Structures are given as structure tokens and as C-alpha cells.
Chains A and B, each alone.
Chain A
Amino acid sequence: MKFDDFASGVLTQEMAKAAAPPTELWEDKRGGLVIIECPKPIPCDPCHTSCPTGAVLPFEDINDLPKVDYAKCTGCAMCVAKCPGLACFVVDLTYGGEDEALIKLPYEMIPCPEEGTEVECLNRVGEPAATGMIVKVQEPQRDKTLVVHVAVPKSFVLDIRAIRVKSHG
């Protein structure tokens, strides 16, 4: 049985690469840049309306796919918190040491993860891809959607899209 199928909600490797920001803007950008994984048109625009810098461009038609002006993105992750599809992620390549990066991802599970905990980082089909460390937990919209900052190995930034907080005991 084929799991890595676009028809069931998983980006192909090529699409994942294509969704990443341009390397020259991305690698030195403190705070990181957004990656929006929203490949099918739906009537939805909160990524644009929540963006404080205008980086997520205005929608001509609400069914348009989101477009990003990476020069304007500050990696603030307001869209990460607001997107109803949990399809926005921010990746900061300047974080930590040479082999580290920071992913800011949406999290809606309980309990609220604690800063400093080790977590399993999951790929787009829920397989553990790496181990990460929670460095910050925010609730930007005060609406129970958390934005979790996870330090991860840099080589996995295009794979990791979720975390599993290990249960105690």
C-alpha cells in the first residue's frame, strides 16, 4: 500500500522542495521564513489577513493559493497560529550551531508541552524523523493554538512537520 500519496494529503519530495523559500534569502534570515504547504485551492485567506508585514500577498480571489513575498517575511509566525489548515511553518536556519535549525510549528494537543523537553519530530506521514528540543511555546492568538519552537537537526527541516511529545512514565 502506498502511503506517500499526494491524493491523501502528503506533499511529494519535489513539491516540498518547491514550497521552500529561496535559499539566498533564507540561509541568513534571522527569525526564519515561512513555508506554506497549501497546494489545493480552498476559499480561505487568514494567512494573508493575519500577516502584519504584508509578506503573504493579498488574494485577488479567496480561492487563490497563498503567495509569499519572502523579502517582507520576518518569521513572526502569526500565520502559523491563525491558519485553520495548520499549513504554515516557519524555519529559521540561523538558529543554534552549524547543524541546527529552528522550526516554529502549530500544536493543538494536550498537555501544553514544556520548554526544554525532548520531542519526537515527525515527517509528513507521522514517522519519527529526528529528535528535537522545545525551546519556546507561544499562544499568539490566545485561541489555544500553540506555536511551538523546536530545535531540530538542520538536515531535516524539509521533512519535519509535527512533533510528538513523549508521555511520561
Chain B
Amino acid sequence: MKTLRTPDVLVIGGGPAGLSAAVEAASFGCHVVVVNEDLALGGQLIKQTHKFFGSAAEHAGTRGIEIAKILVSELERFGDRVEAYTNCSALGYYSDGVVTCMVGEERYFKVKPKKVVVATGALEKLIPFPGNDLPGVYGAGAVQTLMNVYGVKPAKRVLMVGAGNIGLIVSYQLLQAGVDVVAIVEFAPKVGGYWVHAAKVRRLGVPIYLRHTVKRAIGESAVEGAVIQAVDERGAFVGNERFIECDVICMAVGLTPTCELLWQAGCEMCYVPELAGHVAVRDRTMRTSRPDIWIAGDAAGIEEASTAMVEGRIAGLTSAHSLGHVDEDVFEERLKGYWRRLDALRGGEAGSKARSGISKIMIEMWEGRGVEVR
């Protein structure tokens, strides 16, 4: 392999956003390199055995793992125009526009792309409590990986912490794997995830304790149980402690955007609580303050895979457009179409948080704003 790759577009991250960006850019004739940290393309989709929401355009009613296969096969149609590297990390962004990459821990190479789409996804948040370093305290992503990627039953009895969509969905998948989900505790006064996901686990007998949290893990050399307790409106512990016997405490307490490369590239960043962390300021084409860098998916703010795929399309479209590969009228029409889909997906009550967050961080256009390039 050449030690310097020079594609039109480098897509960092092979999840729903990155794959969508790569497909879109390649469809306009761009030479695309995709680097993907995991062993398989698809990002979190490969663990999602449940059916997705959204509309037909976002493959609603299809399981996430099947959507990953669809996106990968779309990408493969472009043959040599797309090079995808798995088990490959983007290590750094340099001021001359070079991105350094490493496959495994041995093969090191550089990419100097004309344009970059950062679709690096998210990191799981964790909450501190005594005993949270015991074996048996997991993030929900790890539980899902063990169970749905490697076919390893991760536990006998699980206490799930968090009733957002991830906590609810992983609880359901644990039940499918024959694992006993003893309870779900949720700090908020209502479930954060979709009501129907909660109904699915409730009717299989899993209690959801609202306004409750885990107080400490119990166990000598591994988790043998957890102490949970109710919390009041201000988050202070109230009422009696209660012991829950379990061998895994699974944390599904939210995600935060993976944005190190964007910081390093000098993109204008802002902390937006509704998007769950620091995110890059962007225009409606998902372009950051660095004119050659686009963002898409959870790296641009925590949302759903459905919106990530549409954002990926936008980033792929506009990076291709910036290289002169897209006719003006096609560009305008497509962009409008993608925004109609995004607005629809974010339109309701479930999208109110994302809408509010994005309104804080999205500018109409960079031109004329006098971007300070650091």
C-alpha cells in the first residue's frame, strides 16, 4: 500500500452516517476512502437486532443489522472508487491537511484528502458510584457487542441503569437472549426512550423504577448485586435503600459526541447540552468552520441512526459539490429533499431536544460570517 493516499473525500467512521456520506459522495464520482475503527463496517448498526423507526427512506421497520448490510452493499457497487479500511483508526489531523491512520497496531499510513467528513460517532457516558470498577459493571455497548456480535451471553441477571432508547432496547435484547433483566432504574420521572420500547419490556415483566438510581455495586471480586434508591426532584437520595441481586450492572446513561479530531482541526466548537456535549458549529450543508471539513451523525450531536444517515447524505453531497462533481440544480434539489426528511424526523415531540440543540449551533452559511481560522 502507498504510504500516502490522496482521495477526493476521506470519511472518518464507517457507521450509518459515514457509510451514507461515502455512498453519496461516490455516487457523484468522488474517490472516497473510509476508515473504520471497528473490525466490521456498520458502526453500532451491526449490534442493532431491533427494527428501526422512521420512514421507508430510512429503512423503517428493518433491523439495524440489515440496514448495515444494505449500506455496505451500496458502497460495494462503486468498486475501486471506494476504499474502506477496517480495524483502522484516524489518529490525528495535521495543519497541512494530513490525517494519519493506523490499521491494527502495525500498518501506519497517511491520507491527504481534498475534503473530510468526520462521522466518528459517540462515546458512552458512565456514572460514578462505589464499586463501579468491579467486573460486571458494563456499558450497554459492551453488553450489546458481547451478545449480538460475538454471541456471548453476558450475564444471568442484569440491572439496567437508564431508560433511554438504548437502555430499553438492550433490556429487550437481553430478554431475547434468555437473560433475566431484574429491573431498570431511571433517574428522570419518565422514560427517556420511546414509550413503545418501554411497553415492550414492561409487558414481559421488567419493572422500571422511575426517579431511581444505582447507589453502589456490591461484590467481593465481581458484581453480586446493587443497591438502588429513589431520588427527589433535585436528585438527592430519599426513602429506603433496596438491594437488587444481579451479576451485571449495565449502564445506559447516554452518549457524548466523539469530537477530538474536530478540536484538533481547529473547528469552532460549542457545548450544547441538548446534543450531549461539545459539537462543531455547522451550516446547513453540515460544513464546519474549517471549509474542508464536514460532520455527520452522532459526532455532530447525539440523535438517532435515521437522522445520522440523512446527515451523512448531506455531508457526502456537499463535499462532492464543493469539488465540482454535482450540478447546481441537482445539488439544490437534493439538499432540499434531505432537509425535508430531517425536518420530518425531528418534527415531533421526540425530536424537540435535537431541534433546540441544533438551533443553537447551526448557522445559515459560512460565507460572509468572517470565520476565524485558527
Residues of A within 8 A of B (CB): 1, 3, 5, 7-11, 37-46, 49-50, 61-63, 82-87, 108-110, 122-127, 141, 143-145, 161-162, 164
Contact = CB atoms under 8 A, between A and B. Distances in A.
A35 to B, nearest CB: 13
A110 B190 CA distance: 30
Contact of B199 (A10, A41, A46, A145): A10
B176 A110 contact: yes
Given A3-B207, A61-B344, A143-B63, A84 B202 contact: no
B201 interface: yes
Given A7-B190, A49-B56, A63 B203 contact: no
A21 B198 CA distance: 23
A10 to B, nearest CB: 5
Contacts of B351: 43, 63
B54 interface: yes
Nearest to B51: A84
B210 A61 contact: no
Given A46-B61, A63-B344, 4 more contacts: A43-B53, A61-B344, A83-B61, A123-B203
Most buried by B among A37, A108, A123, A127: A108
Given A62-B55, A145-B51, A43 B196 contact: no
Contacts of B202: 8-10, 124-126
B164 to A, nearest CB: 13
Interface residue SS majority, chain B: mixed
Nearest to A143: B63
Given A10-B202, A122-B204, A123-B203, A85 B344 contact: no
A98 to B, nearest CB: 27
Nearest to A161: B203
Contact of B196 (A49, A87, A110): A87
Most buried by B among A7, A10, A109, A123: A7
A112 to B, nearest CB: 13
A41 B194 CA distance: 9
Interface in B322-367: 344-351
B345 A62 contact: yes
A43 B203 contact: no
12 contacts: A8-B186, A40-B194, A41-B348, A42-B195, A43-B55, A45-B55, A62-B348, A63-B344, A63-B351, A83-B51, A143-B62, A143-B63
B93 interface: no
B12 interface: no
Contacts of A161: 199, 203
Interface string B23-59: 0000000000000000000000000001111111000
Contacts of A37: 196, 199
A15 to B, nearest CB: 11
A164 to B, nearest CB: 8
Given A7-B210, A108-B176, A85 B200 contact: yes
A85 B191 CA distance: 15
Given A9-B202, A123-B203, A85 B197 contact: yes
A40 B349 contact: yes
B203 A41 contact: no
Contacts of B205: 122, 125-127
A84 B191 contact: no
B7 to A, nearest CB: 34
A123 B203 CA distance: 6
B294 interface: no
Given A7-B191, A85-B194, A124-B203, A41 B349 contact: yes
Given A62-B344, A62-B347, A125-B203, A43 B306 contact: yes
Contacts of B253: none
Contacts of B347: 43, 61-63
A113 B198 CA distance: 24
B156 to A, nearest CB: 15
A71 to B, nearest CB: 25
A9 B210 contact: no
A8 B190 contact: yes
A43 B53 CA distance: 7
Contacts of A84: 50-53, 60-61, 196
A109 B201 CA distance: 12
